[in-house]
Amino acid sequence: MKIGELRGSLDWARAGDEMYALVAELYPICRSITGDGLRATLRRLGRDLDLECHEVPSGTAAFDWTVPKEWNIRDAWVKDARGERVIDFQRSNLHVVHYSTPVRCTVGLDELKRHLHSLPERPQWIPYRTSYYEEGWGFCVEHERLAGFGEGSYEVCIDARLEDGSLSYGECAIGGASDEEFLLSCHTCHPSLCNDNLSGVVLTAHLARLLAGLELRYSYRCLFIPGTIGAITWLSRNRQRAARIRHGLVVACVGDGGPFHYKRSRRGDADIDRAVEHVLRQSGAAHAVRDFSPYGYDERQYCSPGFDLPVGSLTRTPHGCFPEYHTSADDLGFVSARWLGESLCCYLHVIDVVESNRRYRNTNPHCEPQLGRRGLYRAIGGSASPGRTEMALLWVLNLSDGATDLLAIADRAQLDFDTVRHAADLLCSHGLLAETA
Amino acid sequence: MKIGELRGSLDWARAGDEMYALVAELYPICRSITGDGLRATLRRLGRDLDLECHEVPSGTAAFDWTVPKEWNIRDAWVKDARGERVIDFQRSNLHVVHYSTPVRCTVGLDELKRHLHSLPERPQWIPYRTSYYEEGWGFCVEHERLAGFGEGSYEVCIDARLEDGSLSYGECAIGGASDEEFLLSCHTCHPSLCNDNLSGVVLTAHLARLLAGLELRYSYRCLFIPGTIGAITWLSRNRQRAARIRHGLVVACVGDGGPFHYKRSRRGDADIDRAVEHVLRQSGAAHAVRDFSPYGYDERQYCSPGFDLPVGSLTRTPHGCFPEYHTSADDLGFVSARWLGESLCCYLHVIDVVESNRRYRNTNPHCEPQLGRRGLYRAIGGSASPGRTEMALLWVLNLSDGATDLLAIADRAQLDFDTVRHAADLLCSHGLLAETA
Amino acid sequence: MKIGELRGSLDWARAGDEMYALVAELYPICRSITGDGLRATLRRLGRDLDLECHEVPSGTAAFDWTVPKEWNIRDAWVKDARGERVIDFQRSNLHVVHYSTPVRCTVGLDELKRHLHSLPERPQWIPYRTSYYEEGWGFCVEHERLAGFGEGSYEVCIDARLEDGSLSYGECAIGGASDEEFLLSCHTCHPSLCNDNLSGVVLTAHLARLLAGLELRYSYRCLFIPGTIGAITWLSRNRQRAARIRHGLVVACVGDGGPFHYKRSRRGDADIDRAVEHVLRQSGAAHAVRDFSPYGYDERQYCSPGFDLPVGSLTRTPHGCFPEYHTSADDLGFVSARWLGESLCCYLHVIDVVESNRRYRNTNPHCEPQLGRRGLYRAIGGSASPGRTEMALLWVLNLSDGATDLLAIADRAQLDFDTVRHAADLLCSHGLLAETA
């Protein structure tokens, strides 16, 4: 089956439900950039996917970086003088600053507050904070609860281990006709946060399952990696493979109800940029496209100047632009099966365009060929304008010089890609068009 | 005489009257893409022009096409049971579908209706329909009259011949100093329709008469050809000549009162595109410019990728964009002498720009030359800004590097071409500018 | 001291006061394109500057031009029949048409009026008029006073000499690390007119004094020259030196209260164009940028096609765009110390950007370097967006390919140049960036 047929036959509602169910299943796990939570997540994904899991030892060099120690946490709490847990990791894994060093001590209120993070402007939400590369400890708490913290001494416990271990990541490779690859990369390191980025994780996994059953032109590589250090580690171990990446997308924040948002690759006019922009424009729905910037997700690494890969990022509301971002409010109520299904649909559309985009040469370039005698043109002449199908035939014939691809033709003709591709197929079947390399 | 002088001395009102009179004379003739109506039209044009008429036999190959059989019609009608002509070719040659095969039969109302074309949204107008490349027969009728067609049998007659003959076209070549050619092409195949395209036919013929009396830089080729098959036939017989075309315009729909409308060549930035856009912009009048698209008139063939000639189309309201298009309402009341005169004026302006556009080299490129001592600059200094003439002198001097043409200078300076050309002439006469190849 | 430090420590108010005082001191002098007034002005400037004064004899050829005779004037007046001076050069040196030939005669009112210039639309102002290159004489007068000129005879005297002498100009060269030069050019030929161009003269002189004390990358050349003939003369005597000019600004009309206005060099995208546009855009204040045109000040000569130097013009309200232009209303009340100070500040900012603009190569181009362990990145992760400093670090790393300069990075990143330069300095000090040639 080709991807076009899949798109025509897929039960989107069911796909959305399945993705949402997996988000719900993975939600409670306490992931970080290393450790057992990340491993458990990869193990769960591996039940549905042919997922190769890698372990890279702490201390391994990766370009300018070093794989950090592994962090695992069993429990963490702050108890007041009466022994009551006023902050409790068991209630939310966001309560602890991730990568906190183990600690067990008794402190006064002032000292405690130096280790607390909260959001005054969102007093009911717990922020998500990390301290991967500087040792220390801390807790995150709802701001409204701080007022209840009276003077006195507090017992603090972070029952964590920060020691040599390994960094885990998962890789799912799906072979296609060509060695050239399409990269789908999602960061898999966030704890109980749904849109950022369980949504990206389950969408990538679902895409991988669907693509595995298809007849593909490109090979696909889906990476389930911890943000930043994961991408850097993968790139440092796969420099040759990275050179084969022809298209790529960083998958994140695809479960909320906002309009689609595309961040271009550093190149700005790569095929993936043109394909995503075409799909979004033709959708007729509100959407935004913005230029590359060196802040964001792992496109930062893929688009670093030494690689400069054609990798963009297709999200709904982008990181940092929804108030729930990196807070406990990015929960199961913030994402929905319907929105996940829409995002899957959009990703498959983009992949279909990239798979089908080709260059042709008009075999009959002097004047138009006589379409009428081949049944490709209406018989009765004189009415004011031809249909979309006839216009697509004329555009493809006029612009197919062996160098202009179907996507460029669709954009110049202001027609949707499917109409143009259908016209090219028709012309090919009549010998009026020949594919070029 | 040069074209600039002609433009200054022409009696525009009289030219408009003459063109309108010729439209009126040609209006009753039943033209099609072949046949005696087309021949009669060319014969009439030949009375005023040095027109070479060509006959290309049916069956001749022309790229992917074949010259069709010749179609001639003497009469056509539908009679009701009482023997009354309810549809009568003698009243309008639009009543019959052009290229209908001969027929003589009696049919019921249902069968008749399968052969009728009408315009429900314009019930008083007869549509114009053709069936050049699929054999069959049909009639066109005012929609409001269909209700009066009662049950019963109808006698149908199309007294036409569709048989081997030839395709006719006319060609008028006007020699200039260079072998390089300016193509003016009009489709001459439509029956009693005034704007589309008797307006284009008479404008092209009038231009040819005027150009024949002038001292010209380019050679001009005016083609009076049936649409599509005529252009394809001409191109297939003139491949070498086509390679000499440096500029070209497809002349159509130039008799109505709408604003000018220019459709760019496929290249989009050919000299003819720049010239027409300059003239329209400088006119100050409302106008529209749109990019090439592969639907329209014979620019479709001239701009096919194997030729890619610099040919645009300058019309007033373009084809398909006025409701009278291809209906009996495109009649003698829809066009006027005044509008034809305005269109002639616009075409001559464009041709004048193309004829006069040249590249120069400033012979004194270090600092400005002293214009004052040559009488080219006001003597008293100090007032706020120079006049248009002085600005044009400064711009031409500053930008004449041997590669930038006067049209580019006029566009960058936001001055009209005539002012810039006049400045260049003045500077040449003082030895401050030298023409480059 | 570097220019950045100077900008941080300069007493702007005092600089403005000093410039205004010098305008006031130079205001009464009757300058022209040659003569003792111009010489006196250069002498005064030479008290503060290391100014080399040049004298070029009348009759010297300069490209297409010839250095004119020298003009000096002692007195000029028109007396009515009662012997009363109705026009008197002693009251304003604008009253005489500059370069008037000596005359002493008695004329009737009609003959007198043929030699008078006035401004009907500004009846209380005296216009400034010249007749450098056509011999003749004339007076300029307030239009409202013309009505009082009765019939009768008038005695006319212009006690001037127009004879062989020389053209004077001043040149101040300030050496920098490189032989490549930054040109600052002001016309110094206007009589009692403050904004045009005593403002430009004192600003250039003040810049020269400040630059002379700095550690500079480029060498600077400040020209104090008569308009047009001065620039042409300098260029004709310095063709080799002109080829070393990498950046340049024509300094004029910098004392009024209007918004800044930049006229691009003929090239349109020279470094100086990008630098000025960046500074004006980042200022947040209203400003205007317009393309080069061949009318204006001496950029006309610097940008003539044989030189095509990267020289723009940075003014406040440009020439001809304020009603006081070239009239007696361009007086000491029309300019102010504050506005002169603001203009100085803007010029120094532009020069600072040009001096500091460099190209770098990211020495660690594969993935981001780990900024955190170098103390260049906040320790606690998770908040929504990085600060401007961190963004600047990421942008500089991402775009420093050895060819893209800091100004281009600042423009693409929409950050101000200083932030980007600071980031580049930080990265250099950590060995993460290396300057390229």
Per-residue pLDDT reduced to its tens digit, C347-405: 999 999 999 999 999 999 999 999 989 989 876 777 767 788 999 999 999 999 999 99
B424: Cβ contacts below 8 Å, ≥ 6 apart? B358, B360, B396, B400, B406, B433
CA distance B433 to chain C (A): 13
Both tokens of B173, joined, read: 């070549």
Smallest CA-to-CA distance from C186 within C253, C244, C263, C261 is with: C253
Residue A78 pLDDT: 97
- Do the Cβ atoms of A395 and B293 come within 8 Å? yes
Measured CA angle at A252 (ends A249, A256), to 5 deg: 130
Find, among B286, B157, B185, the residue nearest to B245 by Cα.
B185
For residue C307, give the chain B residue with the closest CA: B366
Spell out which residues of chain A touch residue B65, defining contact as CB-CB under 8 Å.
Answer: 367, 370
CB spacing of C384 vs A300 below 8 angstroms: no
Distances, alpha carbon A164 to alpha carbons A58, A158, C193, in Å: 5, 18, 79
- Chain C residues in contact with A68 by the CB 8 A cut-off are none
**Per-residue pLDDT at B276:** 98
Q: Scanning every residue of chain B, which has its alpha carbon at the shortest distance from the alpha carbon of C139?
A: B380
CB contact burial B306-329 (16+ within 10 A = b; e otherwise) = ebbbbbbbbbbbbbbebebbbbbb
H/E run at residue B287: strand B287-290
For residues A358 and A343, what is the distance between their CA atoms, to the nearest angstrom? 25
- The pLDDT value given to residue C417: 97
pLDDT digits (tens, 9 = 90+) for B323-334: 999 999 999 999
How many residue pairs bridge chain A and chain B with CB atoms within 8 Å of each other?
92
Cβ of A320 within 8 Å of Cβ of C385? The answer is: yes
Strand partners, C381: A130
> Which phi and psi angles does B37 have, rounded to 5°?
-65, -45
Supply the pLDDT for residue C175. Answer: 97
A-chain CB neighbours of C394 within 8 Å are 294-295, 300
User: What's the rounded mean pLDDT across residues C185-212?
Assistant: 98
Q: Which pLDDT value is given to residue A146?
A: 93
Q: Which of C133, C300, C326 sits opposite B368 (nearest CB)?
A: C300
End-to-end C-alpha distance for chain C, whole angstroms: 24
Nearest CA in chain B to A362: B305
Q: Nearest by CB to C295, which of B367, B372, B391?
A: B391
Contact assessment for residue C174 and residue C215, using Cβ atoms and an 8 Å cutoff? no
HEC sequence for A56-117: EECCCEECCEECCCEEEEEEEEEECCCCCEEEECCCCHHHECECCCCEEEEEEHHHHHCCEE
Task: Check B306 against A370: CB less than 8 A apart.
Answer: no
pLDDT at residue number B426 = 95
Looking at beta carbons, which residues of chain B come within 8 Å of A395?
293-294
Q: How many CB pairs under 8 A join B and C?
A: 92
A contact test, residue of C361, C363, C367, C385 with most A CBs within 10 A: C367
Question: CB neighbours (10 Å) of residue B431?
Answer: 11
- Please compute the mean of the pLDDT values over residues A200-221 and round it to a whole number: 97
Q: Does the distance separating the beta carbons of C133 and B380 come in below 8 Å?
A: no
Interface test with B, best of A367, A385, A391 (most B CBs within 10 A): A367
> What's the pLDDT tens digit per position in B183-223?
999 999 999 999 999 999 999 999 999 999 999 999 999 99
- Least-confidence region, from B129-143, B346-360, C244-258, C328-342: B129-143
Cβ separation A382–B305 shorter than 8 A: no
Neighbours of B149 (CB within 10 A): 17
Across the range C241-260, mean pLDDT stands at 98
Task: Give A108's contacts (C-beta < 8 A, 6+ positions apart).
Answer: A151, A152, A153, A154
Q: Which of C368, C385, C413 sits opposite A301 (nearest CB)?
A: C368
Tell me the mean pLDDT in the region A418-422.
96
* Alpha carbon B252 to its chain's center: 4
Strands (E), C3-125: 52-57, 61-62, 65-66, 70-79, 85-88, 103-108, 116-117
Q: Which residues of B touch C (CB under 8 A)?
A: 362, 364-370, 372-373, 379-386, 390-391, 394-395, 397-401, 413
Q: Write down the pLDDT at residue B134.
A: 84
Which whole number is the average pLDDT over A243-249?
Answer: 98
What is the structure's pLDDT at A261? 98
Q: State the Cα–Cα distance between residues B331 and B354, nearest whole angstrom.
A: 33
**Best residue of A361, A362, A366 to probe chain B, by most B CBs closer than 10 Å:** A366
Contacts of A390 in chain B (CB under 8 A): 295
For residue A296, what is the nearest residue in chain C, using CA coordinates? C385
Backbone angles phi, psi at C56, to 5 degrees: -115, 120
Please indicate whether, in this complex, the C-beta atoms of A305 and C362 are within 8 angstroms of each other.
yes
User: Per 3-state DSSP, what percentage of chain C is helix, strand, and coil (rounded to 5)?
Assistant: 35, 25, 40
Mean pLDDT (whole number) for C253-263: 98
**ipTM for the complex?**
0.94
CB A397 within 8 A of CB A362: yes
Residue B256 has pLDDT above 80, yes or no: yes
Neighbouring chains of A at 3+ CB pairs under 8 Å are B, C
Task: For residue B388, give every residue at least 6 positions away whose Cβ sits within 8 Å of its Cβ, in sequence order, or none.
Answer: B415, B419
Task: Indicate the pTM of the whole model.
Answer: 0.93
Residues of A with CB under 8 A from a CB of B: 362, 364-370, 372-373, 379-386, 390-391, 394-395, 397-401, 413
Query: Nearest by CB to C380, which of A62, A129, A303?
Result: A129
The Cα of B375 is separated from the nearest Cα of chain C by a number of Å equal to 10
Statement: residue C19 has pLDDT above 90: yes
A47-66 pLDDT tens trace: 999 999 999 999 999 999 99
* Out of B366, B368, B373, closest to residue C133 by CB: B373
Positive or negative CA dihedral for C424, C429, C434, C437?
A: positive
CA distance C395 to C406: 10
Shortest distance, CA A52 to any CA of chain C (angstroms): 23
Give the mean pLDDT of A194-213.
97
Q: Tell me the count of A-C CB pairs closer than 8 A.
A: 92
**H, E, C per residue of chain A:** CCHHHHHHHCCHHHHHHHHHHHHHHHCCCCCCCCCHHHHHHHHHHHCCCCCEEEEEECCCEECCEECCCEEEEEEEEEECCCCCEEEECCCCHHHECECCCCEEEEEEHHHHHCCEECCCCCCCCCECCECCCCCCCCEECCHHHHCCCCCCEEEEEEEEEEECCEEEEEEEEECCCCCCEEEEEEECCCCCCHHHHHHHHHHHHHHHHHHHCCCCCCEEEEEEECCCHHHHHHHHHCHHHHCCEEEEEEECCCCCCCCEEEECCCCCCCHHHHHHHHHHHHHCCCEEEECCCCCCCCHHHHCCCCCCCCEEEEECCCCCCCCCCCECCCCCCCCCHHHHHHHHHHHHHHHHHHHHCCEEEECCCCCCCCCHHHCCCCCCECCCCCCHHHHHHHHHHHHCEEEEEHHHHHHHHCCCHHHHHHHHHHHHHCCCEEECC
Residue B20 has a pLDDT of 98
Q: Is the pLDDT of residue C427 over 80?
A: yes
User: Chain B residues with CB inside 8 Å of A380's CB?
Assistant: 97, 117, 129-131, 134, 138
Inspect the interface and report whether the beta carbons of C382 and A294 lie closer than 8 Å.
no
Question: Which residues from B are below 8 Å from A401, CB to CB?
Answer: 305
A394 contacts on B by Cβ (under 8 Å): 294-295, 300
Please list, in sequence order, all residues whose beta carbon lies within 8 angstroms of the beta carbon of residue B337, skipping any fewer than 6 positions away.
B13, B16, B17, B19, B20
d(CA B164, CA C346): 83
Q: Report the C-alpha gap between B173 and C174 in whole angstroms.
A: 68
Residue A75 to residue A92: CA distance in whole angstroms: 11
pLDDT tens digits, residue range B54-79? 999 999 999 999 999 999 999 999 99
Q: Work out the average pLDDT over B299-320.
A: 97
Q: pLDDT-derived band of residue B384, with 50, 70 and 90 as boundaries?
A: low
Among C64, C117, C305, the residue with its CB nearest the CB of B370 is C64
* Chain A CA closest to residue B298: A367
The position carrying tokens 């810039």 is: B420
pLDDT score of C384: 65
Residues 6+ away with beta carbon under 8 Å from B405: B357, B358, B359
Whole-angstrom CA distances from A91 to A82, A85, A87, A126, C276 are 19, 10, 8, 11, 57
Q: Which residues of chain C have a CB within 8 Å of the CB of A320?
A: 384-385
Q: Which residues of A touch B326 (CB under 8 A)?
A: 382-384
Chain A residues whose C-beta is within 8 A of a chain C C-beta are 62-65, 97, 117, 127-134, 136, 138, 228, 231-232, 235-236, 239, 266, 293-295, 300-301, 303-307, 319-320, 325-326
Asked whether the predicted pLDDT for residue B353 surpasses 80, the reply is yes
Query: Closest to A382 (Cβ–Cβ): which among B127, B294, B304?
Result: B127
Query: What pLDDT score does C382 carry?
Result: 74
Residue A384 banded pLDDT, cuts 50, 70, 90? low
**Residue B88 pLDDT class (50, 70, 90 cuts):** very high
Give the pLDDT confidence score for residue A385 in this predicted structure. 72
pLDDT, average across residues C114-139 = 95
> Encoding tokens for residue B432?
């401050």
C391 neighbourhood in chain A, CB within 8 Å: 293-295
Neighbours of B385 (CB within 10 A): 11
Q: Indicate the residue type of B190.
A: H
Q: Give the model's pLDDT for residue B13.
A: 95
Alpha-carbon span C144 to C120, nearest angstrom: 8
Contact between A30 and A23 (Cβ < 8 Å) = no
Q: A295, A299, A307, A322: best mutation site toward chain C, by most C Cβ within 10 Å? A: A295
